[in-house]
Amino acid sequence: MSRTEDMPGNDLSPAEDVRRAVTGFVSEFKGVQAKIEMKLQQTEERMNMLDRKTMTAQRPPLAGATDSGAPHKKAFHAYVRNGDDDGLRGLELEGKALSTAVNSDGGYLVDPQTSDIVKSVLNSTASIRAIAQVVNVEATSYDVLVDHSDVGAGWATESATVGESDTPQIDRITIQLHELSALPKASQRLLDDAAFDIEGWLAGRIADKFARAEAGAFINGDGIDKPKGFLAHAAVDNDVWAWGNLGYVPTGTAAEVDADAIVDLVYALGAQYRANASFVMNSKVAGIVRKLKDLDGRFLWSDGLSAGEPARLMGYPVLIAEDMPDAGTGSMSIAFGDFAAGYTIAERPDLRILRDPFSAKPHVLFYATKRVGGDVSDFAAIKLLKFGTS
């Protein structure tokens, strides 16, 4: 007799024995089925995620000419489109990844390619930036030291006493940097379009705004919260010229100019500056000047020999800057000089973008800022032509 049979209450019928066996089998089968379903669900989720990644990779890049796979590109695109700055905060300033958060003010440096686009447009604009000296600074101002006097000297014999000579004078010209800003906007729907070249649009809008503002300030700016233009300085007759002023040559008539006045202007400039000198005038004045002839009937004006080469007046290049004044009584409508020596533009190399999705809903504003300054750095290097008798 077995032990089971010895114990009271443990006698099981064959039917009960079969029922218990089937119940245990079904319980185990459900456990196995649940595990299989869980595995299938996990596999399906992984496949769906893989499909999304594959579809995302097949979307057209934001700008076809750029590497949209670069980490700094992705971060900048995400910030411009939807304000997501996680990628920008995570980037390190190393190698070519120049996009980074600017402290706590919410601004961000534009990535290298966008900054180059803006810079190239500014350089190609009709502005004295094309012929002036341009320096990059990290401070809030730029100092130019100018030695505008000679050391005293004299002849001496072997036994004669040599007297003390004059000491040269050095002037310090401080060029303050001012903030130049632009505020273009776009609708959020436009930004959501994956095929839209957001970088090209943003660079074009900012460059156009900055170029027009700079061009005017470098010529006529009063120096208050903007660069000081060379025409904002006092001008005196070149016969009584002194440092701190610009010298001018009168045309001899109220609102007209002749070939003799152009010749006088050229030779009013010192020989050391004439080698790198250029004329600056607007289109209306250029239309007057290009008709001038010398005594032998030859035009003083000659067009460039190849595409992109500037026109020349008496052999010197001409920059057409529309912010120069029109010809009129008392106007300083033509400038001639070595602007690389005579005018200095100081700027910070960074361009900052601040995204504002709240102030102009449903549009998104982009507040772009750049710091730039400019001023005359050598008053002897620039001469003006005044339309007048004196």
- What phi and psi values does residue 147 have, to the nearest 5 degrees? -100, 105
Identify the band that residue 376 occupies on the pLDDT scale cut at 50, 70 and 90: very high
Residue 361 has pLDDT above 70, yes or no: yes
pLDDT, tens digit, for every residue of 301-351? 988 777 778 889 999 999 999 999 999 889 999 999 999 999 999 998 878
Can you read off the two tokens belonging to residue 24?
Answer: 């245990």
Of 87 and 226, which is predicted with more confidence?
226
State percent of the chain over pLDDT 70. Answer: 69
Residue 125 has pLDDT above 70, yes or no: no
DSSP-derived secondary structure letter, 251: -
Identify the band that residue 3 occupies on the pLDDT scale cut at 50, 70 and 90: very low
Parallel, antiparallel or unpaired: strands 133-136 and 343-347: parallel
Q: How many C-beta neighbours within 10 Å does residue 148 have?
A: 13
Highest mean pLDDT among 149-153, 296-300, 306-310, 374-378: 374-378
Q: Please report the pLDDT score of residue 264 as a whole number.
A: 94
| Contact between residue 102 and residue 369 where contact means Cβ atoms under 8 Å apart | no
Lowest mean pLDDT, pick from 64-68, 234-238, 285-289 = 64-68
Can you read off the two tokens belonging to residue 57?
Answer: 């990779």
Of 51 and 34, which is predicted with more confidence?
34
Rounded mean pLDDT of 110-117?
69
Q: Sketch out the chain's domains with CATH numbers.
A: 121-149+169-177+195-351+374-390 (3.30.2320.10)
Residue 190 has pLDDT above 80, yes or no: no
Residue 18 has pLDDT above 80, yes or no: no
Residue 250 has pLDDT above 60, yes or no: yes
∠ Cα 357 358 360 (to 5°): 90
Q: Please report the pLDDT score of residue 319 as a whole number.
A: 93
Q: How far apart are CA 43 and CA 290, in angstroms?
A: 79
For residue 374, what are the β-bridge partners? Answer: 345
pTM over 0.75? The answer is: no
Rounded mean pLDDT of 127-150?
84
pLDDT, tens digit, for every residue of 199-238? 777 778 888 888 899 999 999 999 999 999 999 999 999 9
End-to-end CA distance of the chain: 143
Q: How far apart are CA 170 and CA 145, in angstroms?
A: 6
Q: Please report the pLDDT score of residue 138 as a whole number.
A: 85
Q: Please report the pLDDT score of residue 1 as a whole number.
A: 46
As a whole number, the mean pLDDT across the chain is: 77
Q: Please report the pLDDT score of residue 103 as a whole number.
A: 39
Q: Please report the pLDDT score of residue 386 as a whole number.
A: 94
| Contact between residue 322 and residue 128 where contact means Cβ atoms under 8 Å apart | no
DSSP E strands: which ranges in the chain? Answer: 101-102, 107-109, 133-136, 141-147, 170-176, 178-182, 185-187, 235-237, 246-250, 278-281, 301-302, 312-313, 316-320, 332-337, 343-347, 352-356, 363-376, 382-386
Contacts 24+ apart (CB under 8 A), 240-247: 243/148, 243/171, 243/379, 243/380, 244/379, 245/379, 246/376, 246/379, 246/382, 246/383, 246/384, 247/383, 247/384
Q: How far apart are CA 205 and CA 183, in angstroms?
A: 9
Q: Please report the pLDDT score of residue 171 as a whole number.
A: 75
Q: Shortest CA distance to 368 belongs to which of 166, 21, 161, 117?
A: 117
Residue 363 has pLDDT above 90, yes or no: no
Q: Please report the pLDDT score of residue 77 as a whole number.
A: 64
Q: Please report the pLDDT score of residue 195 as a whole number.
A: 63
